[in-house]
Amino acid sequence: MDENCIFCNIAAGEMDTDLIYEDDRCVAFHDINPQAPTHVLVIPREHIVGIAEAKSDHRDLLGHLMLVAADVARQKGIEDSGYRLVLNWGDDGGMAVPHLHLHVLGGRTMTWPPG
Ligand code: AMP
Ligand code: ZN
């Protein structure tokens, strides 16, 4: 855990953030600045800065995050209407928090190409 990392602190239960899902490897919670009616973040408990820093050892964990994101979307009732999973990296990708996180966005029609 990186004690200066906000998402590490959320995963450790040290923030006032409601976890809508948790297991031994990851947690999910609502984005504080939602960009869609449903906007959930799924993060690993392990402090991985982002996808570009993930190692082959993380292969199973990364797959787990995707499956948890799909489960969260199902529980949120947006499976049938559809949703988008987003993983940002770096300045051009729009990454703001340097702890890997998967956005689950739904409840409205997404545009393409993304902004
Ligand atoms: P990104 O731009 O991909 O790094 O996304 C970071 C996301 O984290 C943004 O959508 C923020 O609104 C969200 N965020 C930042 N701090 C918090 C927090 N304390 N609780 C929930 N979401 C947060
Ligand atoms: Zn972290």
- Nearest ligand 1 atom to alpha carbon 103: 3
**Spacing, Cα 113 to ligand 1 middle (Å):** 22
Q: Whose CA is nearest to atom 15 of ligand 1?
A: 32
Backbone angles phi, psi at 17, to 5 degrees: -105, 125
User: Which pLDDT tens digit goes with each residue over 19-54?
Assistant: 999 999 999 999 999 999 999 999 999 999 999 999
Instruction: Note whether 107 and 81 are within 8 A (CB).
Output: yes
Domain 6-106 class, CATH top level: alpha beta
Residue 9 CB less than 6 A away from ligand 1: no
**Spacing, Cα 80 to ligand 2 middle (Å):** 32
User: Which pLDDT tens digit goes with each residue over 63-98?
Assistant: 999 999 999 999 999 999 999 999 999 999 999 999
CA distance 64 to 4: 25
101 is catalytic: yes
Any long-range contacts for 65-70 (C-beta under 8 Å, 24+ apart)? 65/26, 65/102, 66/102, 68/21, 68/23, 68/26, 68/28, 68/42, 69/28, 69/40, 69/42, 69/102, 69/104
- Number of H-type helices and E-type strands within the chain: 3, 5
